[in-house]
A and B are shown apart, each in its own frame.
Chain A
Amino acid sequence: MGNEAQGTDDVATTSVDFPAVQESERFQTLRRRHRNFVFPVLGLALLWYLAYVLLAGYAPEFMGTPVFGNVNVGLLIGLGQVVTTFVITMVYVSYANRRLDPIAAEIRVDNGGDR
């Protein structure tokens, strides 16, 4: 069975006092932990990407410096971008599992939601 989602709000949510939850210590902790991670990490990742783009545009000779064999600095920095993307992804998942999900689940369960 399914329900026509449009126009029907979950019964559980209508009884939740959202402003009170928002004010609560626990929610503020969750909000702080989330923001304190995502903003700086994304900021660094974007700066690192910007540095890469600027180096490619304005310092092609530096990027062309051979490191070993025919592999040069530009190629290593480019592959480095791939590696940092993978690393940030894994670090965020581990952070979210440890620091965000448990507290979000607590708040959810206390307000009539599922785990």
Chain B
Amino acid sequence: MDAASTPGSPLLNIGIFLVFVAATLVIVFRASRNNKTAADYYAAGRSFTGPQNGAAIAGDYLSAASFLGICGAIALNGYDGFLYSIGFLVAWLVALLLVAELLRNTGKFTMADVLSFRLKQRPVRIAAAITTLSVCFFYLLAQMAGAGGLVSLLLGIPDRVGQSVVIAVVGALMIVYVLVGGMKGTTWVQIIKAFLLIIGAGVMTVWVLAINGFNLSTLLGNAVEKAGTADILAPGLQYGMSDLTRLDFLSLGLALVLGTAALPHVLMRFYTVPTAKEARRSVVWAIWLIGIFYVFTLVLGYGAAALIGADVIRAAPGGANSAAPLLAFELGGPVLLGVISAVAFATILAVVAGLTITAAASFSHDIYGSVMKKGNPAPGSEVKVARRTVVVIGIVAIIGGILANGQNIAFLVALAFAVAASANLPTIIYSLFWKRFSTRGALWSMYGGLAAAIILIVFSPVVSGAPVNEATGLSTSMIQGVDFHWWPLSNPGIVSIPLAFLLGWLGTVTDRNREDAAKQSEMEVRSLTGIGAEGAIKH
């Protein structure tokens, strides 16, 4: 791979990206002026409106994996790439119908606030903080690893040292955003990014459709002609080879649809609005924006297949991830490529910022404030700890990103979703809807789900023992040359999610301890009516 095969002008790409960074930094500094209390720092004073928060959720959720990854998957594998985006979208119904409003009414800053509300504080908070940090870590690693791949593609930096420098710069920028801007600054970065991304994808979509006479059928026909096979229009290219791959796809589908409503950084966004009703409006806006965006990616993916062709995409630096940038170059030349590249970078920045503040809030609020200081930290000390945590997480993310550079991003993201769906979702649902649910059930479900998901991943073909590709001489596994896998599927969801639900039930029914009935009453009444919910901070 040489830099010369990168289309467009890396200088222009960097220039447009720097304009984005400069503009968002100004906004972050302006937004930071009112960051005084924990509620300001973690929850932006609960002062965002539903539509603003909905855009921020879309900005948080539409990661580089969903933009570059899904476009690329559709361009190469056709229909099977589309299956991903449907799972990512339908998942929002779980968040809308079961989680968003009730969570907003009962918690303050973190997921653990809700999970430990009526159970034993210390053990449940610690468990919830551990699962939160695990999910954030895997997701963060995926984004940082993705940054490395993006660099090689967009800036023409093929060597690992140069990519590592860029990963470090991305990490440092993220630390500045989160340190200075807190949740408010992070939210604005995500809102701006969401609009850039959706508008950018929208313009390209209309352009691709215009080339094809605004006829979807013509576009599909051109894609088939270029690919030389009509298989790209039906499922099966990526997943349909055997019973095992079909089961694997079912497992992935389960993790995608059940993971979203349990992602800590998504849940935390519901605390940035003043009421449960605004939380509902947030999800509604998020669903519209995300749904429309995924329809765009369908057109863009087939557009890339028709205009560029799968062979050219496969051969480009960045492989499948280069489908969207190559399409931008084909349509609008270096300028559009620069804009789309900058948007892709902005995407990574905004997502890692959201993950970092979530992880920092969980550590400082759940572990430091509630467990170590028993719920009474010295005034201001929690935010101080949160800021220090941000720096630590930033450094960990930079190192992890450099080490994970070149790893399969989709695998890391799917892992985060599977861990969230297994470790968090059962406890969230049980504690909101099942009166009898007990501390032991929560602990069994969270630790059991977390352990099952991670163990099955470690002993799956994604870590070792996947077949070697004859063309490249490499296996798709993380570790080459050894094989200690005994679990056949690459996604653990189909086992670990039901297991975590089962453990939550089993732990509860075998638990002789009864939880505080008055706390259960309080939680149920508060969750549905909003009595005593944390309100907006007025400055």
Q: Of residues 220 to 241 in B, which have CB atoms within 8 Å of A's CB atoms?
A: 220-221, 224, 230, 233-236, 239-240
Tell yes or no: A25 within 8 A of B by CB.
Answer: no
Tell yes or no: B525 within 8 A of A by CB.
Answer: yes
Q: Which residues of B contact A16 (CB under 8 A)?
A: 522, 525, 531-532
B217 in contact with A56 (CB, 8 Å): no
Q: State the CA gap A85–B97 with chains docked (Å).
A: 12
**Which residue of chain A has its CB nearest to the CB of B246?**
A57
Tell yes or no: B21 within 8 A of A by CB.
Answer: no
Q: State the CA gap A57–B249 with chains docked (Å).
A: 7
A56 in contact with B96 (CB, 8 Å): no
Looking at B162-170, B334-342, B373-381, the stretch in contact with chain A turns out to be B373-381
A75 shortest CB reach to chain B, Å: 7
Looking at B37-45, B119-127, B147-155, B203-211, the stretch in contact with chain A turns out to be B37-45
Contact of A74 among B233, B246, B247, B277 (CB under 8 A): B233
B250 in contact with A89 (CB, 8 Å): no
A49 in contact with B86 (CB, 8 Å): yes
Q: Which residues of B contact A45 (CB under 8 A)?
A: 90, 93
Contact of B246 among A34, A58, A92, A96 (CB under 8 A): A58
B235 in contact with A56 (CB, 8 Å): yes
Q: Which residues of B contact A61 (CB under 8 A)?
A: 234
Tell yes or no: B538 within 8 A of A by CB.
Answer: yes
Q: Which residues of A contact B521 (CB under 8 A)?
A: 18-19, 21-22
The answer to whether residues A4 and B96 also contact, given A53-B249, A107-B531, A108-B531 and a CB cut-off of 8 A, is no
Q: Which residues of A contact B365 (CB under 8 A)?
A: 6
A7 in contact with B376 (CB, 8 Å): yes
The answer to whether residues A72 and B531 also contact, given A19-B521, A60-B240 and a CB cut-off of 8 A, is no
0/1 interface trace, chain A 27-71, chain B, CB 8 Å (1 if under): 100110011011001100110011011101110110110001111
Q: State the CA gap A38–B98 with chains docked (Å).
A: 7
0/1 interface trace, chain A 72-83, chain B, CB 8 Å (1 if under): 101100110110
Q: Of residues 23 to 57 in B, which have CB atoms within 8 Å of A's CB atoms?
A: 36-40, 45
Q: State the CA gap A92–B92 with chains docked (Å).
A: 13
Looking at B182-190, B284-292, B313-321, the stretch in contact with chain A turns out to be B284-292
A12 in contact with B375 (CB, 8 Å): no
The answer to whether residues A113 and B531 also contact, given A70-B221, A74-B233 and a CB cut-off of 8 A, is yes
Tell yes or no: B517 within 8 A of A by CB.
Answer: yes
Q: State the CA gap A96–B531 with chains docked (Å).
A: 17
A72 in contact with B92 (CB, 8 Å): no
Tell yes or no: B108 within 8 A of A by CB.
Answer: yes
B382 in contact with A6 (CB, 8 Å): yes
Q: State the CA gap A18–B235 with chains docked (Å).
A: 52
B92 in contact with A85 (CB, 8 Å): yes
Q: Which residues of B contact A54 (CB under 8 A)?
A: 250
Tell yes or no: B312 within 8 A of A by CB.
Answer: no
**Which residue of chain A has its CB nearest to the CB of B247?**
A57
**Which residue of chain A has its CB nearest to the CB of B236?**
A60
0/1 interface trace, chain B 338-372, chain A, CB 8 Å (1 if under): 00000000000000000000000000010001100
B528 in contact with A104 (CB, 8 Å): yes
The bracket for how many chain A residues form the interface is: 35 or more
The bracket for how many chain B residues form the interface is: 35 or more
A42 in contact with B98 (CB, 8 Å): yes
Q: State the CA gap A93–B96 with chains docked (Å).
A: 10
Contact of B220 among A41, A69, A88 (CB under 8 A): A69
A88 in contact with B530 (CB, 8 Å): no
Q: Which residues of B contact A72 (CB under 8 A)?
A: 233-234
A19 in contact with B518 (CB, 8 Å): yes
B38 in contact with A5 (CB, 8 Å): yes
Q: State the CA gap A34–B105 with chains docked (Å).
A: 15
Contact of A82 among B109, B257, B294 (CB under 8 A): B294
Interface centre among A19, A52, A75 (most CB of B within 10 A): A75
Q: State the CA gap A82–B297 with chains docked (Å).
A: 13
Tell yes or no: B280 within 8 A of A by CB.
Answer: yes
**Which residue of chain B has its CB nearest to the CB of A41?**
B97
Q: Which residues of A contact B278 (CB under 8 A)?
A: none
Q: Which residues of A contact B221 (CB under 8 A)?
A: 69-70
Q: State the CA gap A69–B45 with chains docked (Å).
A: 53
Q: Which residues of B contact A4 (CB under 8 A)?
A: 37-38, 379-380
Q: Which residues of A contact B230 (CB under 8 A)?
A: 64
Tell yes or no: B509 within 8 A of A by CB.
Answer: no
Q: Footprint of A on B, CB under 8 Å? A: 36-40, 45, 79-80, 82-83, 86-87, 89-90, 92-94, 96-98, 108-109, 215-218, 220-221, 224, 230, 233-236, 239-240, 246-247, 249-250, 253, 257, 277, 280, 283-284, 287-288, 291, 294-295, 365, 369-370, 375-377, 379-380, 382, 433, 517-518, 521-522, 524-526, 528-532, 534-535, 537-539
Provide 27 A-B residue pairs closer than 8 Å at the C-beta atoms, listed in order of the A residue: A6-B38, A12-B531, A13-B526, A13-B532, A16-B525, A21-B521, A21-B529, A21-B531, A22-B524, A30-B528, A31-B524, A42-B93, A49-B87, A53-B83, A53-B249, A56-B249, A57-B239, A64-B233, A64-B235, A70-B224, A74-B235, A81-B86, A82-B294, A85-B92, A107-B531, A108-B530, A114-B535
Closest 9 CB pairs of A and B: A69-B217, A64-B234, A13-B532, A70-B220, A56-B235, A60-B236, A57-B246, A2-B37, A18-B522
